[in-house]
Structure 1
Amino acid sequence: MHIKVGIIGCGSIARHRHAPEYKANPYVSEIVFFDRNPERAKGLAMLFGGSVATSVDDLLDDPTIQIISDCSSNEFHHIFSTKSLEAGKHVLCEKPISLSIEFANKIVQAQKKSGKKLMVDHNQRFTQAHMKAKEMLENEELGKVLTFRTTFGHAGPEHWGVNMTNSTWFFKHNRSALGVGGDLGIHKIDLLHYLLGDEIEQVSAFQGALDKVDENGKPIEVCDNIVCSLKTKRGYIGTASFSWTYYGEEDNSTIFYCEKGIMKIYHSDEYQIEVITKDGERVKYQIECMQTNDHQTSSGVIDAFVDSIRLDKEPLVSGEDALASLKVILAILKAAETNTVVTI
């Protein structure tokens, strides 16, 4: 089976994740790139041996293209992903699925109507350690989960984005809107839903632009830090922190405190999962290394999406899953702005 792919948006995520992983996939025969900046599209086409489209419609009107990767910035997902589904393409959309529930619903409805596959790139589900942790939690190896804490932080998108400056679109309210919540937080919310097999239904939070400044030296228009309390439908309670100001080291760890002990994920440099039982026994698992901004490994997302099309199976992260996580992030920001507990 030979699959032809179109990529919309040729920024960092396309360069570091989508393009190289499609290139490495044995079933993908060709990649066509589109970007509003034609030079950027040409650069990736040269790098990965693909071709360039002059417009989004060129991609969507091409009957030989089966997959579209929507790597546009957040405010365009509901336009490009919806159009692509309506044009009969399978769509892998970058996260967050959209900036509002209304727009996210447009994408989900377009998927239902088209019958094509839609997956949203919540890549934390795909790491070997998180898959192993899910299995252990489902088997209740440490009994039931009682509480949890999770964090996701690094030095900020200006160290990762395509232009490597603090004029990055991530800092603009009209383009990123959700700040660190839509960049990093939404990953961890999706991960908690996945690992717990549950959904968060109540939140409270604090947020702020504590340190980042834009290209004019003014505080950025979105939050660079969020700290929140979360309660799930089944009654698990926990905390989460999301940050663009972890200067010195990225932190991507999650801890579950269970009836019979503690499970720490990505807490140690050496072991991806550590279990400490009630009576003090320690079990350490070396599974794989975590993908970080500085250390790029294959995320597994592209291979999983190609397989879902090739083998006609449900993608691991559906539009509905992504919508559920978006609702939580929007509630967290509302809770912080209104100083209230918000029920989703």
Structure 2
Amino acid sequence: MKAGIIGCGSIARFRHAPEYKANEHISEIVFYDRNPERAERLAAMFDGTVAGSVDDMLEDPDIKVVSDCSSNENHPIFSTQALLHGKHVLCEKPISLTVEDASKIIDAQKKSGTVLMVDHNQRFTRAHQKAREIVQSGELGKVLTFRTTFGHKGPEHWGINKSNSTWFFKKERSGFGVAGDLGIHKLDLIHYLMEDEIVKISALQGALDKVDEQGKPIEVCDNIVATMQTKKGCLGTASFSWTYYGEEDNSTILYCEKGIIKIYHHPAYQLEVIHSNGEKVHYQLEKMQTNDDQTNTGVINAFINCVQSSRKPLASGEDALISLRVVLAMLDSAETGHAITISS
């Protein structure tokens, strides 16, 4: 079958396109971007073709799967249209900028009966999946507290145009700044690792260092920190940043009744388990995906497997909506100065 990609920025170039190209079930990739040159560039790189419009792509009966790699504000438009055209959709995160729009996408999936998966790719790393297994096994008892962080030097170094004019810095397009770019990954990961949900959150945010193309502070946060409580009573902290200029940090630590699980914290081991008696168990599982070191995330393979088997995806629209509610509450808390209780 053929795959379509809407939006030809860096996420399409470095993640979606090469993983579709490597998948044995994909015969061709069709690219669309509002900037035709970007689509043509990726089509040349991956032996694909270019669609003249989104409608052309969605009306092609041979295109069975579509990746929505457009900017955040467009997900409710393109993902909804693709689903209602009978396409299986892999939507980039965040699923949308509002609960209402996210619900529209989910409703379109239910109406179409096709697969909707959201690219919360941290669920797919071997270290995170192994950590979840350890939590589920109960060998360390229940999780009591946690801390997580995700930061790098900013989207102007990652995005397609490599400049401070990046859409990530624009309120009307990005919506959430670093909270929606990096933070939502880790909030979703906490839900996944602990089979739990964040229900209360308090946060502080700032545009501490980033400036736009006019040299003015950006319209969204480049740093946000939060404290939170889960439905099961766990307490945790989180920090998300576009100003980690020395190196990326993508680590999470779970503090349990009988020990500690450290994920992407040790320089040599992706997972480290420290038992309460001091015994340490180290796991070398895979390299962590970073902006500077792209590896296959396994997301496209998982998506195609769901399409072929009609299985529920590991990161569903409903999962994405839960994490979106947390991001919205985090930003609400940062803006109002109050702790926010999250209602479902």
TM-score by length of 1: 0.99
1:197 pairs with one of 192, 195, 198: 195
* Structure 1 residue 276: Cα displacement: 1.3
Q: Partner amino acid for 1:331? A: A
Distance 1:16 1:10 in 2: 10
Deviation of 1:268 after TM superposition, in Å, equals 1.1
Task: Give the secondary structure class of the aligned counterpart of 1:316.
Answer: coil
Report the 3-state secondary structure (helix = DSSP H, G, I; strand = E; otherwise coil) of the residue aligned with 1:28: coil
Deviations 1:118-176 (A, max 9, x none): 00000000000000000000001211100000000000000100001111000000100
2:255 aligned counterpart, secondary structure: strand
Q: Which residue of the partner structure matches residue 163 of structure 2?
A: 165
- Structure 1 counterpart of 2:121: 123
Which residue of 119, 124, 132 maps to 2:130? 132
Q: How many residues align?
A: 342
Aligned to 1:51: 49
Deviation at 1:312, TM superposition (A): 1.8
The alpha carbon displacement at 1:63 in A equals 1.2
Which residue identity is paired with 1:24? A
Question: What is the alpha-carbon distance in structure 2 between the residues aligned to residue 334 and residue 236 of structure 1?
Answer: 21
Alignment equivalent of 1:31, drawn from 13, 29, 32: 29
Give runs of aligned pairs for residues 87-106 of structure 1, distance below 5 A: 87-106=85-104
Match of 2:254 among 250, 253, 256: 256
Counting only pairs closer than 5 Å after superposition, residues 190-269 of structure 1 correspond to structure 2 as 190-269=188-267
Q: CA deviation at 1:311?
A: 1.8
Deviations 1:213-243 (A, max 9, x none): 1111100000000000111111011000000
Residue identity opposite 2:25 in structure 1:
Y
> What is the deviation of 1:280?
1.2
**Other structure's SS at 1:78 match:** helix
Instruction: Spell out the pairing of 1:57-72 with structure 2 (5 A cutoff).
Output: 57-72=55-70
The alignment's C-alpha RMSD in Å is 0.6
Find the aligned partners of 1:321 and 1:314 in 2 and give their Cα distance: 11
Q: TM-score, normalised by structure 2?
A: 0.99
Give the match's secondary structure for 1:158: coil
- What one-letter code is carried by the residue in structure 2 that aligns with 1:50? G
Name structure 2 gaps, 5 residues minimum: none
Superposition deviation, residue 102 in structure 1: 0.6
Alignment of 1:131-150 (within 5 A): 131-150=129-148
Shift of 1:281: 1.2
Q: Distance in 2 between matches of 1:140 and 1:156?
A: 38
| Residue type of the alignment partner of 1:308 | C
